[in-house]
Amino acid sequence: MGSFAYVCYNNIMRKIISGFTIVELLVVIAVIGILTTISLISFTRYQADSRDTQRSSKTTILAEALEKYYDKNGEYPGCSAVSDSNAATVTTTVLPGVELNTLLTPKSAPTDTNSITCTDITGAAGEADVFAYVGDGSTACTSGQSCLSWTLKYKEESTGLIKSITSRRTTSIATAGDTTLTSTGISFTQINLSWTTVDNALSYTIQRATNNLFTVNMVQSTSATTSASATGLTAGTIYYFRVMPNATGSTGNWSNTASTMTGQLATPVAAATTNSTSQITLSWGAVSLATSYTVNRSLASTFTTPTVFSGITTTSSVSTGLAPGTTYYFRVQAVAPTDTSDWSATKSATTTINPPAGAPSVTAAMSGTTAIGTASVVTCAAGTPMYQLQYRSTSTLTNGAWSAWTGWSTTRTMSVATTQGRQYGFEAHAYCAGTNANSTVSALSNIATTISQISTPSAPTYATPSYFHSGVSAIVNYTSHCPSGTSLYNDTFRTVDWYGGAWGPHPFGYSDAWQNFSDGLNHYVSYYGKNQCKTSWDTSALSAESYHSTLVYPQ
């Protein structure tokens, strides 16, 4: 018994002392490794879930901020605005109130300031950790100012799935504005279209018809640009066009209706220019599709019997050998192999007339009391000579002002009633008068003068005194008979007493006196007076001598 107990104890102690076997240790290590791996996986999963929670929270905050932007602006911001690398600009002007950290994904690079990108994500391996702002697909949304709608996406780290939030509202492209359409005829079978851009448009629908209700021969097409060409059209036909912008999920308004006729030559716009006395140039703007032009010229605006110039391949026509001073009428039409335009508006021009070779010369003469100015004959290469004269008269001291020109006349003379003693001057100019035009006026002629002679005045009349007292002085006065405007000149008188003695000559206004008589009787004294009349320009002949007998009383 004791031996058995001993043996058992011994075996047990030996086993204890010998430790774990290699198999046992491996099992223990494997268990520990499994437990460690489970712990690491659980921790990593926990971290990924935490980061996904951040992504979800941030996209929710960004989505709300984008909706607030819409509430304020009626549209969503363009992607370039929300993805701006200057994060402070985004959080102050685009998405105010959003913290800077909200723009960053959990695994963004240390140098990143904004993890929002305009590029869509697919969940493929190796994609960066970003918030993808996917707009309506238009250029205006990607790089411009506004988006009609958006989807905000991120890749869930724990599952690899793409998570997204979509805008609550989708703006219709009709709010982006209307386009303006222009159509231009290119040939007899082609019309080109162009229209203004509408923001957020991805494409444009084009409708073409041969009536403005777009119910006849209507053809519809689509263009991704803002221009198109309609080809294979029927010549000489009016086509109507309109354009509508398209966006994701919405369409805009139709543009204006533009219409153009194929193969329609426009009416030329002409102008007539006088070149000289015998030449006129008709010019006009080039007409699209025209291969030549036809010009009519006529002396009548009705073009009853016009001179025709056809096959002109330039945009002007020079008419030569025309009559001076004559009005000519012109019109032009464009010509193509299958069409002829309307005639242009009638244009007229008048050839010029050369003025006389030189100014006329003028002579002046008196005929009785009339001063006559006469211009010499001028020669006109074309047209009729026309003359115009004017005159001025002089006062006794200065030249007077010119009178107005007489009316133009073929006569070359001018007659003026005169005042004695004045000088009259004449000058003239001339022009050549044509059927429809006149030349310029020649230079002024010389100034020719003539003097209206002062007639011989009547003998002066003795005025005072009526008698003399011996020994008393008295002023002897005469009344002259000079024409108005003239002055008294060379006015003298002489006296003859009762004994035949003669005294003088004395001037008018001379103080005369007679002495006491020794015989105490009354006597008569004879006075003889004469004078001339004068202006600055003429002196009359000496008047006849007057006679007057005056009584002298003794004292």
What phi-psi label fits residue 353: left (phi over 0), alpha (psi between -120 and 50 degrees) or beta?
beta
121 in the same domain as 62: yes
Q: Is 286 part of any domain?
A: yes
Q: β-strand 487-496 against 467-469: which pairing, if any?
A: unpaired
Enter the tokens of residue 122. 């697919």
178 in the same domain as 162: no
Task: Point out the domain boundary residue: 133, 166, 199.
Answer: 166
Residue with tokens 């950790």: 129
Enter the tokens of residue 519. 């015989």
Task: Point out the domain boundary residue: 123, 151, 166.
Answer: 166
pLDDT exceeds 70 at position 3: no
Taking all residues of the chain, what is their mean pLDDT, rounded to a whole number?
A: 90
Which residues lie below 8 Å from residue 464, measured CB to CB, with a gap of 6+?
Answer: 474, 475, 476, 477
pLDDT given at position 427 = 96
- For range 162-184, the mean pLDDT: 88
Residue with tokens 């004068």: 534
Which residues lie below 8 Å from residue 495, measured CB to CB, with a gap of 6+?
Answer: 502, 503, 504, 506, 512, 525, 526, 527, 528
What is the domain-level CATH number for residue 432?
2.60.40
How far is the C-alpha of 508 from the C-alpha of 479, rounded, in Å?
9
535 in the same domain as 466: yes
- Domain tally for the chain? 5
pLDDT given at position 163 = 93
Note the pLDDT tens digit of each residue in 240-289.
Answer: 999 999 988 789 899 999 999 887 788 999 999 999 999 999 999 999 88
What is the domain-level CATH number for residue 251?
2.60.40.10
3-state secondary structure of 440: coil
145 in the same domain as 205: no
How far is the C-alpha of 492 from the C-alpha of 362, rounded, in Å?
41
Q: Is 3 part of any domain?
A: no
Q: Percent helix, strand and coil across the chain, each rounded to 5?
A: 15, 35, 45
What is the DSSP code (8-state) at residue 354? P
How far is the C-alpha of 225 from the C-alpha of 524, rounded, in Å?
133
pLDDT given at position 521 = 87
Indicate the pLDDT class of residue 411, thresholds 50, 70 and 90. very high
Asked if 535 and 486 count as a contact pair (C-beta separation under 8 A), the reply is yes
pLDDT given at position 9 = 45
Q: β-strand 280-284 against 384-394: which pairing, if any?
A: unpaired
What is the per-residue burial (b if ≥16 Cβ within 10 Å, else e) of 232-263?
ebeeebebbbbbbbbbbebbbbbbebbebbbb
pLDDT given at position 479 = 96
- For range 317-337, the mean pLDDT: 95
46 in the same domain as 147: yes
Using alpha carbons, list the distances in angstroms from residue 487 to 368, 399, 421, 452, 483: 21, 17, 10, 15, 8
pLDDT exceeds 60 at position 7: no
pLDDT exceeds 60 at position 210: yes
Q: Is 4 part of any domain?
A: no
156 in the same domain as 42: yes
412 in the same domain as 472: no
162 in the same domain as 219: no
**Residue 222 forms beta bridges with which residues?**
205
pTM: 0.50
Q: Is 354 part of any domain?
A: no
**How big is the CA angle at 194 (ends 191 and 199), to the nearest 5 degrees?**
155
How far is the C-alpha of 528 from the C-alpha of 545, rounded, in Å?
6
Measure CA of the first residue to CA of the last residue in the chain; give whole Å: 231
Beta strands in 434-472 (DSSP E): 448-451, 461-464, 467-469
pLDDT given at position 370 = 97
Q: Which amino acid is at 522?
A: N
Q: Is 423 part of any domain?
A: yes
Candidate ranges 105-109, 198-202, 503-507; pick with highest mean pLDDT:
503-507
Q: Is 230 part of any domain?
A: yes
pLDDT given at position 8 = 43
275 in the same domain as 254: no
How far is the C-alpha of 357 from the C-alpha of 378, rounded, in Å?
8
Q: Is 14 part of any domain?
A: no
pLDDT exceeds 90 at position 506: yes
pLDDT exceeds 50 at position 200: yes
pLDDT given at position 43 = 67
Boundaries of domain holding 545? 461-553
Task: Point out the domain boundary residue: 212, 233, 261.
Answer: 261
pLDDT given at position 453 = 96
How far is the C-alpha of 312 from the C-alpha of 235, rounded, in Å?
24
41 in the same domain as 135: yes
Side-chain half-sphere exposure of 82, counting CA atoms within 13 A: 32
Q: Which uninterrupted H or E stretch holds 459?
A: none
pLDDT exceeds 70 at position 67: yes
Note the pLDDT tens digit of each residue in 142-154.
Answer: 888 888 889 999 9
Q: Is 390 part of any domain?
A: yes
Q: How many helices (H) and strands (E) does the chain have?
A: 5, 38
How far is the C-alpha of 509 from the C-alpha of 460, rounded, in Å?
13
Note the pLDDT tens digit of each residue in 95-135.
Answer: 998 999 999 999 888 899 999 999 999 988 888 999 999 98
281 in the same domain as 253: no
159 in the same domain as 85: yes
DSSP H stretches of helix in 406-476: none
